[in-house]
Amino acid sequence: MAAPSAANPSLFDCRQAFADTLIALAKEDERIVAVCNDSVGSSNLGEFQKLFPDRLINVGIAEQNMVGVGAGLANGGFIPFVCGAGPFLTGRALEQIKVDVAYNGYPVVLCGMSPGMAYGELGPTHHSIEDLSWLRAIDGLAVVVPADPAQTRAAVRWAVAAETPAYLRVGRTKVPSVSPDETNAFAFGKADRLRDGKDLTIVATGVMVSRALAAGAALADQGLQARVINISSVKPLDDAAIIAAARETGAIVTVEEAMIEGGLGAAVAEVVVRNAPVPMRMLGVKGFAPTGSAEFLFDHFGLNSEGIVAAARELKGR
Amino acid sequence: MTVPTTDAELNTKLAPPISATLDSTARVDLLRKEATRIRRSVIEMIGRARMGHIGGDLSTTDILATLFFAVLRIDPSNPTTPERDRFILSKGHCAAALYSTLALRGFLPVEALSTFMQPLSALNGHPNRRKVPGVEANTGPLGHGLPIAVGSAVASKLKSSQWRTFVVLGDGELQEGSNWEAAMCAGHRRLDNLVAIVDRNRLQQGARTEDTNQLEPLASRWTSFGWETVEIDGHDLAALYDAFTSPRNGKPKCVIAKTVKGKGISFIEDRVEWHHKVPTVEQIELALKELA
């Protein structure tokens, strides 16, 4: 089980679900190895290292080499989980992700640990808010953002079975469980409709999904019935679910813990304008963040239930 | 494709065409013939495509010939057989030399070389493993080959396998920091199944390496990163063979192959402008004559 938070026993750090699942799979499958950049602790790989000391390859603080080593291990028949803090894995090694992993087509699972603004007070250098925009543009690379521990477990199992280049956001910011079906929580390329409504659709990913659900409940109290969709497969996107949302509800609000330019909102908009143009609002991170905790910054950027409600009401003109 | 069922069959399938039992003189004679065939092919390909990186192709040719015809345990009829040696051309812009070598070694039809850089050809200006058998890694941006080679060498160790990994690096390429991340990692892990060959032709695209961003003292730099380092004449086929086949000694090996950019063509040798200049029709004829 994922570790509940001490402060709130119903909130979970997805890194524990990630590590538990990786270990369980590695016991059965010798092809699974982990590669990290001096991040055994922050990637929650301590137990993996104890159980499989040879299969934990810590290359030190060297992200470009880390991703290349992952590609080389895949060339040698392994399924490497390459783990590092999201900003450094994706920003420092972007060309290696493009060329060594995606263009080569090697089944490397890139695990962006503590993504988004999880390292709130450490500042924009440590925020991974550009990753969705950067990686969505890379051909052949799956971009997966689990919203809770159940989705994290299912996404890790999917990545091993799929043997395809993939980026997985592994959240540190504590989240509640949002998956209705614990055992079947993630389907690659599929959206999850978590709440139905006819007046508008809220499309959310990752940490924002529980906030979107809270906004859906608040909007219902105010007479607006919102559909809420969880997008854990940012790429490929479930186009059909987006088109249905546009046609059936006529308005869409997107919300993500990432830059608006090029992220989930942009992905949704690309589908909407081509298939069923409807008014949209996009909520996300607006520029380099000021100092503050992740929760403080969510409030600062309006990435909370109140912000989503306000955007929805403004969009609907009521 | 036939799958070998015994160790002896596997050994036969993977053995290089120039036998290890030959004496050095006979081996060098055979290698020189292969190298000349590769050089002629490179000239013809670049002449036809009107594009390419002729200088580096020719400096790296003797290294490729020695590896593919006398050293690498590979099987053209089964290019991804798990126990094969791995070869990575980190200086991917020298694709014409690699394609020529792969074709002459039986990985692709020699006739395919005439499609080099033509529309929709598998033979892109930089190699693509998903289109060209025998290519282990898509390269082109510099500083990518050595990290991948380190991963491959770690994989071989993890599997307690015998395969070795060879990677050819340009010398100018060593200005990319990722090489030194990988060099440090390989030294730390004592990857004695890894051989990095530096094509030390002393020129990069725009100028001499030493006038751009000094690489010397290059050998001691590698040694200080935990590598066994040898400096040899990169066109001495016997020396190349010996460097690639000497016993492992608990460290990764760096072979600094001192080469001449454009080697073999008098008017191209050691001239910066021939990094990717294309010879005229007359110059192609002259070049092929020099290689006759």
Q: What six digits make up the tokens of A128? A: 């991974």
* Pairing assessment for the beta strands A166-170 and A233-235 based on DSSP bridges: unpaired
**Residue A311 pLDDT class (50, 70, 90 cuts):** very high
Assess if residue B2 is contained within a domain.
no
For the domain made up of A14-170, the CATH class stated in words is alpha beta
Per-residue pLDDT band at A146 (split at 50, 70, 90): very high
Q: Which residues of B touch A59 (CB under 8 A)?
A: 181, 185
B151 contacts in A (CB within 8 Å)? 68-76, 80
The three-class DSSP label of residue A203 is strand
Going by pLDDT thresholds of 50, 70 and 90, the confidence category of residue A212 is: very high
What value does the mean pLDDT take over residues A285-296?
97
Is B14 among the domain residues?
no
**What's the angle, vertex CA A232, arms to CA A230 and CA A237, rounded to 5?**
95
Q: How many helices (H) and strands (E) does chain A have?
A: 12, 12
* Residue B263 predicted with pLDDT over 60: yes
Q: How far is A97 from chain B (nearest CA, A)?
A: 11
Give me the pLDDT at residue B30, please.
98
Report d(CA B292, CA B284) in Å as an integer. 12
Name the token pair of A15: 């890194």
Six-digit token pair at A148?
């809770």
Q: Report, as an integer, the average pLDDT of B97-106.
A: 98
Q: Which residue of B has its CA nearest to A73?
A: B151
* pLDDT mean over A267-294: 98
Q: Does A59 touch chain B (CB under 8 A)?
A: yes
3-state helix, strand, coil in chain A (%, to 5): 45, 20, 35
Give the tens place of pLDDT for each residue, B202-251.
Answer: 999 999 999 999 999 999 999 999 999 999 999 999 999 999 999 999 99
CATH architecture of A189-316: 3-Layer(aba) Sandwich (3.40)
CATH number at residue B122: 3.40.50.970
For residue A38, the 8-state DSSP code is: S
Q: How many domains does chain B have?
A: 1
The vertex-B168 CA angle with B163 and B169, nearest 5°, equals 135
Q: For the ranges B1-10, B22-31, B52-61, B66-75, which has the lowest average pLDDT? A: B1-10
The position carrying tokens 């091993």 is A160
Here the tokens at position A179 are 């998956």
* Cα nearest neighbour of B188 on chain A: A59
Q: Do B130 and A104 touch (CB under 8 A)?
A: yes
Confidence of residue B197 (pLDDT cuts 50, 70, 90): very high
Q: A4 pLDDT band (50/70/90 cuts)?
A: low
Task: Calculate how close chain B gets to A67, using CA atoms only, in Å.
Answer: 8
pLDDT of residue A141: 98
**Looking at the predicted structure, is the pLDDT value of residue B183 above 70?**
yes
List pLDDT tens digits, range B108-160. Answer: 999 999 999 999 999 999 999 999 999 999 999 999 999 999 999 999 999 99
- Beta-strand (E) ranges in A245-315? 252-259, 280-285
Q: What integer best gives the mean pLDDT of chain B?
A: 96
Kindly state the tokens that stand for A208: 């924002």
- The contact set of B with A (CB < 8 A) is 82, 86, 128-130, 136-141, 143-144, 146-156, 158-159, 165, 177-178, 181-182, 184-185, 188
pLDDT at B268: 96
Asked whether the predicted pLDDT for residue B85 surpasses 70, the reply is yes
Q: Can you give the pLDDT at residue A1?
A: 40
Q: What's the domain range around B221?
A: 23-290
Distance CA A168, CA A84 (A): 11
Judge whether residue B171 has pLDDT over 60: yes
Amino acid residing at A110: L
- Predicted pLDDT at A183: 82
- pLDDT at residue B6 in the model: 81
Percent of chain A with pLDDT over 70: 97
Dihedral over alpha carbons A45, A49, A55, A58 (to 10 degrees): 70
SS (H, E, C) chain B: CCCCCCHHHHHHHHCCCCCCCCCHHHHHHHHHHHHHHHHHHHHHHHHHHCCCCHHHHHHHHHHHHHHHHHHCCCCCCCCCCCCCCEEEECCHHHHHHHHHHHHHCCCCCHHHHHHCCCCCCCCCCCCCCCCCCCCCCCCCCCCCHHHHHHHHHHHHHHCCCCCCEEEEEECHHHHCHHHHHHHHHHHHCCCCCEEEEEEECCECCCCEHHHHCCCCCHHHHHHHCCCEEEEEECCCHHHHHHHHHCCCCCCCEEEEEECCCCCCCCCCCCCHHHHCCCCCHHHHHHHHHHCC
Q: Domain map of chain A by residue range? A: 14-170, 189-316
What Rg, from alpha-carbon coordinates, does chain A have? 19
Q: Using CB atoms within 10 A of its CB, is residue B96 exposed (0-12), middle (13-18) or buried (19+)? A: buried
Q: With an 8 Å Cβ cutoff, is A243 touching chain B?
A: no
**Which tens digit of pLDDT belongs to each residue from A63-84?**
999 999 999 999 999 999 999 9
Q: In this prediction, what percent of chain B has a pLDDT beyond 70? A: 98
- Whether residue A293 has pLDDT greater than 90: yes
Nearest to A72 among B151, B159, B181 (CB): B151
Distance CA B53, CA B60 (A): 11
Q: Is the pLDDT of residue B1 over 60?
A: no
**Domain-embedded: residue B17:** no
As a whole number of angstroms, the distance between CA A111 and CA A18 comes to: 10
Q: Span A277-287, mean pLDDT?
A: 98
